[in-house]
Amino acid sequence: MSEKILWIDDEIDLLKPHIVFLEKKGYHVTPVNNVNEALELIDSEKFALTLIDENMPGISGLEAIPMIKEKDSSLKIVMVTKSEEEHIMEEAIGSQIADYILKPVNPNQILLSLKKNLQQDDLVEQKTILQYQQEFRNLSMELSYLRSYQDWAEYYKKIVNWEIKFDKVADNEFADLLQSQKEEANIQFAKFIENNYEDWLSGPDKPIMSHTLFKEKVKTEVEKDKVLLLMVDNLRYDQWKVIEPLFTKYYNKVSEDYYYSILPTATQYARNSFFAGLMPSEIEKRFPDKWFNDNEEGNKNEYERDFLEDQMKRIGLGSKSMKYLKVLNADFERKIYDDFNQHKNNDLLVIVYNFIDILSHAKTDNHIVDQLIRDDKTFRSLTLNWFENSSLLKIIKIAAENGFKLVITTDHGTVYVKKPSKVVGDRETSTNIRYKTGKSLTYDDSDVWAITNPEKLFLPKGNLSSKYIFAKNNIFLAYPKNYNHFVNYYKETYQHGGISLEECIIPISILEPK
């Protein structure tokens, strides 16, 4: 069925050649020479788009726009005008027109606008599928040649870019195929981590990691400028890419990089390591009264400010003023914005933002959130929607106005778990779904990476026989007791602590005010 187009122009008879051209291209065009007749037609017929001349006797094109929108708010409007005056363009765009065409128009110019506004989604979908079909074999072959941490990071970025492209594609068949490729990549990535992780902690060829990130990336910025360090808990690389345009309204991107989270990819390990500039066992030794192991009572991220102050002194930033704020709810988020003048003179303003972590846990515990977040695509969409309407963007805007450079990063990512794996442990075993630590663990070797000497990975030992296990790919760890209930409760939820591209390879971006 052809798309129905309404064309309003007081000189419509002169446009007959254009109309014939469009009808040959499959469009059904209804021509009228005044707004009143057009409004009557809109009452009785359904049009996909209207072309309207800006300068007509009687009711002008600009005056007609709100009248048309009142009749049919979904009707796309394309303004045709010979005026290049800026205020005319601004008024038309402000009236939420779909496009703006300057006279004299040619048929192909009109055709391009119609395709852009009526067929863009279909054209984008067709192009995306075609490109992915061409790239599919390359992605599969490339997986066999990934050797370094740089290779893996670049490969993961390619997967993420395709995921975001497929967010606009209705055909789930190819998105599912991409997910299968990512699962295969995660299987190989776990082997890569097993073979290289320990060497990274002592050898020269290693990526930036949680405990080195502040010194290697943030320190230089604090030495030169005022810095707002935004630590968004649980922010994956794909989520950063969809919210990035919200931040670049006020900031220009200076650099975008990645780093590797330490293991476990869990807040109490990775974020404490970031702020302390130390590995977990080193934090335990330096701050024995401020580090709590998994089986110990206590707030495990209560001393981040103390750890950061200590690190700043060790690396030569002791003279810099620092303010640390942790956002756990929307009320405090608004308070930071309202009180921003109290913080604007600090050399380093740190904001830890816990929303995404709260959201991922809410999918497990809240039925409504569980229905809203059905997969990575909907998780990205909900993340974007939250940030678009958050007070955090107001904070970012006022920070830019006050000359703060912005460093945005995270502590670890999160993975959508699907497959349970049985683990047996005693009552001292930790409760995390993606990793466990304890002295009496029985597990499936193929599903986890087991560490019998935690000190080699700079991890604390609860006792002499403690070990750690890290779940691979999309596996989650379940106890045999109440197994079916446990599996149903945690299956298809977001968890972190184990080994996956999503959890381990995470973003850091540096931006400067516009």
**pLDDT for residue 116:** 81
Residue 275, Cβ density class (10 Å: 0-12 exposed, 13-18 middle, ≥19 buried) = buried
Average pLDDT of the chain is 91
Give the pairing type, strands 467-471 and 435-438: antiparallel
pLDDT above 90 covers a percentage of the chain that reads: 67
**pLDDT for residue 54:** 86
**pLDDT for residue 497:** 97
**pLDDT for residue 458:** 96
Is the previous residue joined to 264 through a cis bond, with omega within 30 degrees of 0? yes
pLDDT confidence tier of residue 99, bands split at 50, 70 and 90: confident
Superfamily in which the 210-413+503-513 domain is placed by CATH: Alkaline Phosphatase, subunit A (3.40.720.10)
Instruction: Give 56-98 pLDDT, tens digit per residue.
Output: 998 988 899 889 988 888 898 998 887 666 666 666 566 678 8
Give the pairing type, strands 227-232 and 475-478: unpaired
Helix (H) or strand (E) holding 127: helix 120-142
For residues 160-164, give the mean pLDDT. Answer: 93
Q: Tell me, yes or no, if the two domains 4-118 and 210-413+503-513 fold the same way.
A: no
pLDDT confidence tier of residue 135, bands split at 50, 70 and 90: confident
**pLDDT for residue 84:** 63
For residues 160-175, give the mean pLDDT. Answer: 84
pTM of the model: 0.84
Instruction: Give 254-288 pLDDT, tens digit per residue.
Output: 999 999 999 999 999 999 999 999 999 999 999 99
**pLDDT for residue 1:** 46
Q: Terminal CA-to-CA distance of the chain, rounded, Å?
A: 47
Query: Residue 427 above 50 pLDDT?
Result: yes
Query: Domain 4-118 has what CATH class?
Result: alpha beta
> What is the rounded CA–CA span in Å between residue 300 and residue 285?
15
**pLDDT for residue 85:** 65
Query: Residue 34 above 50 pLDDT?
Result: yes
Query: Residue 504 above 70 pLDDT?
Result: yes
- Closest listed residue to residue 50, CA positions, set 59, 64, 82: 64
Query: Residue 382 above 60 pLDDT?
Result: yes
For residues 40-57, give the mean pLDDT. Answer: 91
Task: Indicate the domain borders of the chain.
Answer: 4-118, 122-200, 210-413+503-513, 416-500
For residues 475-498, give the mean pLDDT. Answer: 93
Give the pairing type, strands 505-513 and 251-260: antiparallel
